[in-house]
Chains A and B, each alone.
Chain A
């Protein structure tokens, strides 16, 4: 047992237009909760509280079901996240190829730990389970881009690269 209670979510002002569009798109689909939440996660980078209430209301389901789902799956986040999500695989194949050095180098360079976000919202760092590309171990991803055969040197190059990229 190693966790704080469910993250407390602050109430915020959010423009729900995009969320409404997502719901419109899936409104008649059987089993639409997941695609709706995934769409909202994609639109906002996290699932804002007002959007949860909106989904509960429009899909006529309990908020508890939505929260249960949101806190179960890895994809969903209840707080804003970084513009660039850095994921380092710590699956077994990567583990035996030195993934922990890669992880520590990112920690040192970004000054954040696992599942944390830099204060400027540029980076979120995550250790993740096997990414299904064990042939390229050790492996890192930044958003959808994959970086195989990672080295400490490559970590610095990646950070230098993404420091230059625009935030929008």
Chain B
């Protein structure tokens, strides 16, 4: 600890603390301009200069560490004059175009000028203009306004881990630009816009939409991926015009392209604004009463004729907990069927059941902020950038700021590779072999967490025995990696106090239950569950998959995971039931199985057999065209309720705008249907549903109180960790079949689900699907970049433009899951993320 005096007050702080932070502890604010708490200090603007007794030059408070006994003065006439002079110098070349500058009203330079009383400009100069970069997508850069605080560059490099912009040139010619002077080519997360204190980097979609203070700002939660980032909707005239986040949020103000720009889907012309009903084969607009009356009558007729088991529902990870709760209530209580499931059946539901069995917890064993300080991290079968960007930022932070060892196991060369100490590029479908190999290597090298295993687990000997009979060499061969690389990875992960194991779709959807069990075994070997900073983290692309399962949108359990008395049909049984004619009515809530589900061709055929298809969604699609009744619902910005992340944070969303046209909030639609079916009164508010949901679940509680305008106080009880964690029996991995080509279908960072493909913003940087082919394969098959390529699996084909790339292994191709036109997942079998295919030039 170091003691010093600031403005005559004594303070004691840990060594290494900056003068700025020490002053903050005393409640002394030193003005800053280029300082940004979440990145390394720059020290360039000199506004934070302070006097230190005995030192002849001023020191910058933001990057000068404290020293024992120093006496610091933060306010003096000389300092005030010097700070003011700096502002005046900054303004010499700053265009005073504030009236038409997007940052006007929220500009750090404006604020600093006011604060430091720089209200005159004695220095006149002929401004030399630099070209404004109008040619970038989503962002615009006006270097004339730049004060070179470097915040954008630091956020880009240190937080996002991109390499899109840099300080180039020198002296007065210094600017922030793309590294090669070409238009911006990056993740388009826009975090640099948020960091920019001036109007240099601005959002193009927001440009000229209005002065910042004229918008209503609603603090809410992002509705795209499951990171659960805290955001702010800025709306006017019932339109969301931008999304921001503040550095004081859980996510430190960092968003991804979906969070920041994806809001444009709200304003898509495809929005459903009125209920639709099918009449004589044609869909016509209807009022709510007519649509509901028709739907209820038909439901009653089917139940009367074929029994409640002829009705099924598929829910959605996009809707709120309250809505999921009401949806299962509608099916179970109002209709009387247990046939309810969701896309969680593609893997997450089963994975979460496995984890629950072993670790006691639902979803992750700890909140994701624990990843920040982990000492070793394994990311397996997961492109975090696409599946949960906010978690990726934390992994980058751990690897770069806290020197965590990172092992990446991915079939593809994904973004995290550049931070990885080891990249295990395994063969498609070889997740189980890889994990088993890692466990074998850990045991061979004696790197397992012996203390934890002895104290808190059972079944270790059996696992050890099972692994003893396996050869590392053959496991490595089956996984398609080298034995040495497995040992190396084991050394990075083993014998660490805090280990985080993060796994995503390729394990959860592709690998299946045995693979998830293996990941859990691996996590136990490494002692991940008891780590103070770390844990086991399943990753899911869609925001409320955890809350949806918590609410009992599953055939086998009720809200709060109480077992269902009579389990209903799961997703694939429902599809089979329709095919067999036993399921006659299907209610799809915010779920479009034709867009991104595996076997979508089969599902399409099945849907055509239904007597009643009710679709509740926000936009028109091929699916709504098939429906007998369409209920226009509301998007996340248009409703209230709560979401739960896989790491069990429950957060309220706040309504920023009202649903378009006659569309209604989904809880309201379902609530009225229940009322119409049962005669019970319809809930008057979401709050009422929340209370009912909390009681029914038994694990949700608390009440939402706003702290600084943001929801706080909702809770979800986590079951106590088991006394001992049980190792699962090891499954001997079979080497995956050798295919001439394997198609991997997965998400990309520019989109989330299919929702963002309705966002004009996202589409400007990622307009359509593609098929990524390795250069060597492309050359062999005569496929050129941008040329057409056909991919065939079993009897299904898709055709799309080729993207020839060096980031993918030969023999594998990749197609993004998001695009309705490409329908890449239609090639996949039910529970898989990869499939053997034939590839040819089309």
Q: Taking beta carbons and an 8 Å cutoff, which residues of A are in contact with B? A: 1-9, 49, 52, 62-68, 71-72
Interface string of B430-462 (1 = CB under 8 A from A): 000000000000000000000000000000000
| Bound complex: CA A62 to CA B178 (Å) | 12
Given A5-B143, A5-B181, do A72 and B165 touch, yes or no (CB 8 Å)? no
Tell whether, in the assembled complex, residue B173 and residue A1 are in contact, meaning their CB atoms are under 8 Å apart: yes
Residue total for B at the interface (Cβ-Cβ under 8 A): 26
Decide if B172 is an interface residue (CB 8 Å cutoff): yes
A1 to B142, CA, bound (A): 13
Known interface pairs A3-B130, A5-B177; A72-B170 also in contact (CB < 8 Å)? yes
Determine if A1 and B93 form an interchain contact, defined as CB atoms under 8 angstroms apart: yes
Q: Are A6 and B128 in contact (CB under 8 A)?
A: no
| Distance of A155 Cα from B170 Cα, bound (Å) | 31
Whether A3 contacts B181 by the Cβ 8 Å rule is: no
The answer, among A3, A4, A63, A72, for a CB contact under 8 Å with B179, is A63
Q: Are the CB atoms of B130 and A1 closer together than 8 Å?
A: yes
Query: Which of chain B's residues 158-198 have a Cβ closer than 8 Å to chain A?
Result: 163-170, 172-173, 175, 177-182
Task: From A1, A2, A8, A72, name the one whose CB has the most chain B CB atoms within 10 angstroms.
Answer: A1
Interface residues of B (CB under 8 A from A): 93, 127-128, 130-131, 133, 143-144, 157, 163-170, 172-173, 175, 177-182
Neighbouring B residues of A49 by C-beta, 8 Å: 180
Looking across the interface, which residue of chain A has its beta carbon closest to that of B156? A64
Closest chain A residue to B125, Cβ basis: A1
Contact A64/B166 with A1-B130, A2-B128, A4-B130 known, Cβ cut-off 8 Å: yes
* Chain B residues whose C-beta falls within 8 Å of the C-beta of A3 in the assembled complex: 128, 130, 169, 172-173, 175
State A18–B184 Cα separation when bound (angstroms): 30
Q: How far is the CB of A133 from chain B (nearest CB, A)?
A: 24
Closest residue of chain B to A49 (Cβ to Cβ) is B180
B172, closest chain A residue (CB): A1
Q: State in angstroms the CA–CA spacing of A67 and B180 once bound together.
A: 7
- Which secondary structure dominates chain A's binding surface? loop
Contact between chains at B127 and A6 (CB < 8 Å)? no
Beyond A1-B172, A7-B181, A62-B163, list 15 extra A-B contacts (CB 8 Å): A1-B130, A1-B144, A1-B173, A3-B172, A3-B173, A6-B178, A6-B180, A8-B180, A8-B181, A8-B182, A9-B180, A62-B179, A63-B179, A64-B157, A64-B163
> Which chain A positions have C-beta within 8 A of B130?
1, 3-5
Give A67's nearest chain B residue, CB to CB: B179
| Chain B proximity of A126: nearest CB distance (Å) | 15
Q: Are B173 and A68 in contact (CB under 8 A)?
A: no
**Residues on the B chain within 8 Å of A5, using CB:** 130-131, 133, 143, 175, 177, 181
Contacts of B169 in A (CB 8 A): 3, 6, 71-72
A147 to chain B, nearest CB (A): 28
A63 to B165, CA, bound (A): 10
Say whether, besides A5-B177, A8-B182, A62-B163, A71 and B128 are in contact (CB < 8 Å): no
Interface pairs A-B: 6 shortest CB-CB: A3-B173, A64-B166, A8-B181, A67-B179, A6-B168, A71-B168
Q: Complex formed: what's the CA distance from A112 to B170 in Å? A: 23
Q: A5 vs B179: C-alpha distance in the bound complex, in angstroms?
A: 11
Q: Is the CB of B180 within 8 A of A63?
A: yes
| Cα–Cα, bound, A49→B181 (Å) | 11
